[in-house]
A and B are shown apart, each in its own frame.
Chain A
């Protein structure tokens, strides 16, 4: 595909177009992904999650600047929730990253959750693959840590940063337990505010309770992202985590698991779509259900025959 060739040469417009194709689930996206898949697997994928306003975008901006100093090419996927009523969204993460706009070694893309079941994680997955193939060394995914779908997206990442801040009311309780469990590196941002030490102690306690016996130490770092304080330590922790994943073989293992999950999910999605188009849309499914109601058939036989038709 011509678009793929352009994207691989670093043309941003082509990269952007490919991501749109994937987001809109156009057929060409699959063609492009087939072509790009062999080139994937080199980027390190960093998830950054935490409550709204905790400083994720500011932090990402600073982390990326530090990685740029070290000569790395970086892409950022900034994900914000869509309005459940209209499907529209205001995506404002670029405001904190406007210095990066003109840097040729950086690509930033804002994505909305588009409110579809599994839709976001799929689009984000694809965007990550596209950017990986295009040679970005690091890919950051910023999401608000609230729902299950966000947890799913963030599972695309190799290293997961969980950001919190002092003064969230119930402090740590505000971070969902699930997110605590998936975090690799914990960041207490806005450490210029009162109470940062207490948040660190609470985190230490909760992580102590959760402690699995793995060799990764789950560092807890204090930062003032808006003043670029503590940023180098976070970058060093990410690099250390990357090396840890490499050395222990965990990276290969996780990526294998992710491929398994991806294939199984795609199979289910495609079958659901096929069944919908084949039976539900033309009304034949309703006729079959009528037979069930009249006890002329049973659900299990019907399932068997639908499956037989789907996989033939």
Chain B
């Protein structure tokens, strides 16, 4: 029997064109033995959810610098739930003020990582919390 690998969709919603952070995370997760599906820049919540469903991922990790996280992150969580994929672990990262974090957590985002979080912490969080 081959082992089940953790599959993660690393997605960039919103309009900002920087994917350096997303790529750093993608590499860290790969180096931790995960399968990372990277879907590119400027994805709408609908596109992210369609990719997450088709790829049967365990985790959706989004990164966003543009400040629209209060709208985009919960939208992804909501659409996933509508697809019956509410067992997917949804995480957010990027420039997110501490004051927004409780709102995000109430709206389906399991954890929020702000810039400077060591990648090892993200890896451990996923390993400990994946369904």
Residues of A within 8 A of B (CB): 12-13, 15-17, 19-20, 23-26, 82-83, 86-92, 94-96, 98, 101-102, 107-110, 112, 114, 116, 119
17 A-B contacts (beta carbon < 8 Å): A13-B53, A16-B55, A17-B56, A24-B4, A25-B2, A86-B30, A88-B5, A88-B34, A88-B36, A91-B37, A94-B37, A98-B39, A98-B40, A98-B47, A107-B54, A112-B5, A119-B2
Chain B residues contacting A110 (CB-CB under 8 Å) are 35, 37, 55
Main secondary structure of the interface of A (DSSP, over half): mixed
Residues of B within 8 A of A (CB): 1-5, 7, 26-27, 29-40, 43, 46-47, 50-51, 53-56, 83-85
Instruction: For residue A80, give the distance in angstroms from its CB to the closest CB of chain B.
Output: 9
Instruction: For residue B117, give the distance in angstroms from its CB to the closest CB of chain A.
Output: 19
Contact A24 B30, beta carbon cutoff 8 Å? no
Give the CA-CA distance A16 to B40 in the complex, in Å: 20
Contact B56 A20, beta carbon cutoff 8 Å? yes
Give the CA-CA distance A107 to B37 in the complex, in Å: 15
Contact A88 B54, beta carbon cutoff 8 Å? no
Known contacts A88-B30, A89-B36, A101-B39; 6 additional CB pairs below 8 A are A82-B35, A86-B32, A92-B37, A92-B40, A98-B39, A112-B35
Instruction: For residue A78, give the distance in angstroms from its CB to the closest CB of chain B.
Output: 9
Residues A16 and B35 in contact in the complex (CB < 8 Å), given A25-B1, A90-B27 = no
Contact B35 A89, beta carbon cutoff 8 Å? yes
Instruction: Report the 7 A-B pairs with minimum CB-CB distance, sorted nearest first.
Output: A95-B40, A16-B56, A88-B30, A101-B47, A101-B50, A86-B33, A88-B33
Give the CA-CA distance A92 to B9 in the complex, in Å: 10
Contact of B51 among A17, A23, A89, A101 (CB under 8 A): A101
Question: How many A-B pairs with Cβ below 8 Å?
Answer: 96
Give the CA-CA distance A260 to B30 in the complex, in Å: 36
Instruction: For residue B47, give the distance in angstroms from its CB to the closest CB of chain A.
Output: 4
Contact of A13 among B2, B40, B85 (CB under 8 A): B85
Give the CA-CA distance A20 to B54 in the complex, in Å: 10
Give the CA-CA distance A229 to B51 in the complex, in Å: 27
Residues A109 and B54 in contact in the complex (CB < 8 Å), given A25-B1, A98-B40, A119-B2 = yes
Contact B53 A16, beta carbon cutoff 8 Å? yes
Give the CA-CA distance A109 to B40 in the complex, in Å: 15
Residues A102 and B50 in contact in the complex (CB < 8 Å), given A89-B36, A110-B55 = yes
Contact B5 A90, beta carbon cutoff 8 Å? no
Instruction: For residue A88, give the distance in angstroms from its CB to the closest CB of chain B.
Output: 4
Contact B43 A98, beta carbon cutoff 8 Å? yes
Chain B residues contacting A114 (CB-CB under 8 Å) are 2, 5
Contact B29 A88, beta carbon cutoff 8 Å? yes
Residues A13 and B33 in contact in the complex (CB < 8 Å), given A90-B26, A98-B39, A110-B55 = no
Contact B31 A86, beta carbon cutoff 8 Å? yes
Contact of B31 among A16, A24, A83 (CB under 8 A): A83
Instruction: For residue A226, give the distance in angstroms from its CB to the closest CB of chain B.
Output: 15
Chain B residues contacting A119 (CB-CB under 8 Å) are 2
Chain A residues contacting B85 (CB-CB under 8 Å) are 13
